[in-house]
Each structure stands twice: as structure tokens, then as C-alpha cells.
């Protein structure tokens, strides 16, 4: 079965770089999607949230989060108000977001990277 693998992130993020190198070393074809340059849409973010909780998707340790006002941070408490916040600040997502699709159906979404995490994902797929 063919998989469509996309890594969402920003190119200068160390964790994103490590995830891309790991995928290349495994001989896996993937597309890199630069969330800052290419942006995000509501459909994509909602699809991710079907697989991962909002608290995992939003990076509350990064500089983008720290630069938000308290009012903006409060918007991250629920999905409906968090999505527009993410769309206007794509760097808020914890990186990378690994998305795999089988045909027209979403097959898997994960957030973050460690070699063990990716190994488990790909040995089960």
C-alpha cells in the first residue's frame, strides 16, 4: 500500500531537521511543508486534531508562545478559538507534525520527533 508522507515544520528547526534526516536514512520518500512560507488551513489543522490533542499540537515552550499576549494565550484553551490563533501563528505548532495518508484517507498524525517514536510509527504501518 502506498503512503503519502508529509513533514510539516520550519526548515531551521533542529527537531525538524533530525526528523527529515531520519526519514531519508530509512529510504522513505516524503514531502516537506514549510508552515511559515506555505501557511496552514483550517481543514489541515482540524484533521490533525482528530489524531492529537490540542495541548500536544500547541508548543507552549517556544518563543512564538511567549510572545503572545495573555488574551491570545487564553484562546488556546479550546479548539474553536485555538484554530484561528494557529492559522495566524503557524510557528505555534509543536514540530514536526508528521502526516501520513493512504489514498484519500488520513492514516496517521504525530507530533514531535525522536528516533524511537518514528521507529514505532513506521514498524506499525
CA 42, 46, 48, 52 torsion: positive or negative? positive
Annotated catalytic residue: which of 3, 13, 52, 68? Answer: 13
Active site residue 44: no
Helical segments of the chain, H only = 14-25, 35-38, 42-49, 54-57, 63-67, 70-75, 79-88, 115-123
Residue 55 to residue 77: CA distance in whole angstroms: 8
The set of catalytic residues is 13
Amino acid at each position: 500500500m502506498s503512503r503519502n508522507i508529509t513533514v510539516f515544520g520550519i526548515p531551521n528547526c533542529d527537531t525538524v531537521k533530525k526528523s527529515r534526516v531520519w526519514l531519508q536514512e530509512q529510504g522513505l520518500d516524503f514531502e516537506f511543508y514549510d508552515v511559515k512560507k506555505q501557511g496552514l488551513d483550517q481543514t489541515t489543522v482540524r484533521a490533525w486534531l482528530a489524531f492529537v490533542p490540542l495541548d500536544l499540537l500547541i508548543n507552549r515552550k517556544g518563543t512564538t508562545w511567549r510572545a503572545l499576549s495573555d488574551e491570545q494565550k487564553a484562546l488556546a484553551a479550546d479548539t474553536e478559538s485555538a484554530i484561528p490563533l494557529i492559522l495566524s501563528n503557524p510557528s505555534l505548532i509543536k514540530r514536526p507534525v508528521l502526516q501520513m495518508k493512504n489514498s484519500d484517507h488520513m492514516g496517521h498524525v504525530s507530533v514531535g520527533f525522536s528516533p524511537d517514536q518514528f521507529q514505532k510509527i513506521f514498524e506499525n504501518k
